[in-house]
């Protein structure tokens, strides 16, 4: 009832761990797999080890509305990541290797290395909103986006997922530039910030960060709906999914699967199993046999 297929990859349920949450080490990814996730996206990994920004790097909005983070793409580097993936792959769920870079050649080399490590697909982080030289500058440059996707597609055999930015006035144009990708991931975090009025300065050490959580769900649903109307490319929805109803909403907008991140903060790692149960209960109550039947159900032509 809950199994889905994206680019020929079978997921036991449509709930995939989003990049950047408990996915830097093989041990934590293995825990997530055993906690019921349908698949896992790794931490975004670059060519070399990167320390990221100094603390504070995370700010939680009140009333469980979301979080703003500016980790700075901290990661161990691609050469040190093979052992973590070896452990993660023991979980028996598809692993999608997330990579970031500043040039098409760098993305292609990283994707190739991920493929050699055994991932089922690669996700191109084209849209980090807070990492200078690797983030928004890349994701809003249509020419560079096109070059990156093309270079990676020519280098690897596994499916290529392009994670697109919501921080643009021309999302359709960016999607068109990435149309050679096998799937779109919508959306990355929304660029935002918070100010400590007592300290009279930004809360985060980097000032700006990426906003995630329930408060951005309407932005994500709109993006999925909009792009699903224009492109036949499969979409993985992400942004503010904390309940089964949230996941169903994204799928009705046009997503074939969804990614979950911030919900782990509120519901723990059992969120995957619990949300899957909520989806299954809704399907049964509404007489729907397969979750894949929901995809695009709310599209009005």
Active site residues: 128
Strand extents, DSSP E, 50-114: 58-60, 67-69, 95-99
Three-state helix/strand/coil letters over 43-61: CCECCCCECCCCCCCEEEC
Compute the distance between CA of residue 13 and CA of residue 2 in angstroms, rounded to an integer.
Answer: 5
Compute the distance between CA of residue 56 and CA of residue 53 in angstroms, rounded to an integer.
Answer: 8
Q: What DSSP element (H or E) covers 15?
A: strand 15-17
Question: Of 241, 201, 200, 206, which is closest to residue 220 (Cα–Cα)?
Answer: 241
Gyration radius (Cα) of the chain, Å = 18
> How far is CA 275 from each of CA 40, 83, 224, 242, rounded to the nearest angstrom?
16, 30, 20, 8
Q: Are 183 and 234 in contact (CB under 8 A)?
A: yes
Cα dihedral 126→128→131→135 (10° resolution): 30
235: its two tokens: 């979409």
Residue 105 makes CB contacts below 8 A (sequence gap 6+) with: 151
Q: Are 27 and 87 in contact (CB under 8 A)?
A: yes
Q: What DSSP element (H or E) covers 190?
A: strand 190-193
Compute the distance between CA of residue 288 and CA of residue 186 in angstroms, rounded to an integer.
Answer: 25
142: its two tokens: 């249509």
Compute the distance between CA of residue 111 and CA of residue 196 in angstroms, rounded to an integer.
Answer: 40
């Amino acid at each position: 009832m809950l199994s889905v297929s994206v680019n020929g990859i079978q997921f036991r349920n449509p709930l995939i761990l989003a990049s950047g949450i408990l996915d830097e080490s093989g041990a934590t990814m293995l825990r997530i797999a055993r906690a019921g996730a349908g698949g896992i996206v790794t931490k975004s990994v670059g060519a070399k080890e990167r320390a990221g920004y100094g603390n504070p790097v995370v700010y939680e909005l009140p009333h469980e509305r979301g979080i703003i983070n500016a980790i700075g793409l901290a990661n161990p580097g691609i050469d040190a990541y093979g052992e973590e993936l070896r452990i993660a792959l023991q979980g028996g769920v598809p692993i999608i290797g997330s990579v970031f870079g500043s040039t098409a050649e760098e993305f292609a080399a990283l994707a190739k290395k991920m493929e050699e490590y055994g991932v089922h697909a690669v996700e191109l982080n084209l849209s980090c909103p807070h990492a200078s030289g690797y983030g928004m500058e890349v994701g809003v440059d249509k020419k560079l986006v096109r070059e990156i996707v093309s270079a990676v597609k020519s280098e690897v055999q596994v499916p290529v997922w392009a994670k697109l930015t919501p921080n643009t006035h021309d999302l359709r144009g960016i999607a068109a530039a990435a149309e050679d990708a096998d799937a779109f991931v919508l959306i990355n975090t929304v660029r935002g910030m918070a100010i400590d009025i007592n300290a009279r300065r930004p809360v985060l050490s980097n000032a700006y960060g990426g906003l995630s959580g329930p408060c951005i769900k309407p932005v994500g649903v709109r993006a999925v709906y909009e792009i699903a109307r224009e492109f036949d490319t499969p979409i993985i929805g992400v942004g503010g999914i904390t309940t089964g109803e949230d996941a169903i909403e994204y799928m009705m907008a046009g997503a074939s699967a969804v990614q979950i991140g911030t919900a782990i903060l509120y519901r723990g790692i059992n969120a995957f199993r619990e949300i899957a149960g909520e989806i299954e209960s809704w399907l049964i109550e509404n007489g729907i046999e397969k979750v894949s039947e929901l995809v695009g159900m709310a599209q009005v032509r």
